[in-house]
């Protein structure tokens, strides 16, 4: 199986792919395991939110001969964003740490924290487009 080459900045590398994938989701699994002790159902949901993007990442990795690494990276980031949004929102609304009257207010902080994912996607888009332009200039 020969992976598809990227047109710009992103390329398929085992360490880069799985390192980023695990690095972006491990905290959810750890948080979920810790929460299982006090709130089993919510903890299990958070663990599932940590594992789901990893399953997506493995599926994308297996399709690397049919997909560019940039597109796969953006899909994976979107999946991580959705899983993190579900986990953090559920923990904020139904978990521990905030009195019931303050939980909705805490969601404003959650929204700001979750802004990192679209910001990363925009950064990666800019990096990819700049690299593609640079490669086109070099070839001309």
pLDDT in tens, 18-64: 999 999 999 999 999 999 998 999 999 999 999 999 999 999 999 99
**Nearest to 110, CA basis, from 135, 91, 137, 129:** 91
**Nearest to 44, CA basis, from 62, 26, 65, 29:** 29
Looking at residues 66-80, what average pLDDT do you find?
A: 95
DSSP state of 101: G
Helix (H) or strand (E) holding 73, with range, is helix 69-94
pLDDT in tens, 74-100: 999 999 999 999 998 888 888 766 666
C-alpha 12/C-alpha 6 separation (Å) is 8
Higher pLDDT, 19 or 107: 19
């Amino acid at each position: 199986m020969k992976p598809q080459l990227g047109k710009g900045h992103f390329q398929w590398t085992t360490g880069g792919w799985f390192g980023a994938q695990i690095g972006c989701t491990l905290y959810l699994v750890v948080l979920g395991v810790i929460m299982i002790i006090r709130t089993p159902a919510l903890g299990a949901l958070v663990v599932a939110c940590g594992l789901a993007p990893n399953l997506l990442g493995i599926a994308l990795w297996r399709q690397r001969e049919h997909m560019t690494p940039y597109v796969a990276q953006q899909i994976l980031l979107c999946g991580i964003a959705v899983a993190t949004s579900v986990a953090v929102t559920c923990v904020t609304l139904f978990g521990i740490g905030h009195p019931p009257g303050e939980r909705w207010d805490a969601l404003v902080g959650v929204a700001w924290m979750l802004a990192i994912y679209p910001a990363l996607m925009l950064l990666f888009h800019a990096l990819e487009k700049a690299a593609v332009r640079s490669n086109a200039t070099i070839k001309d």
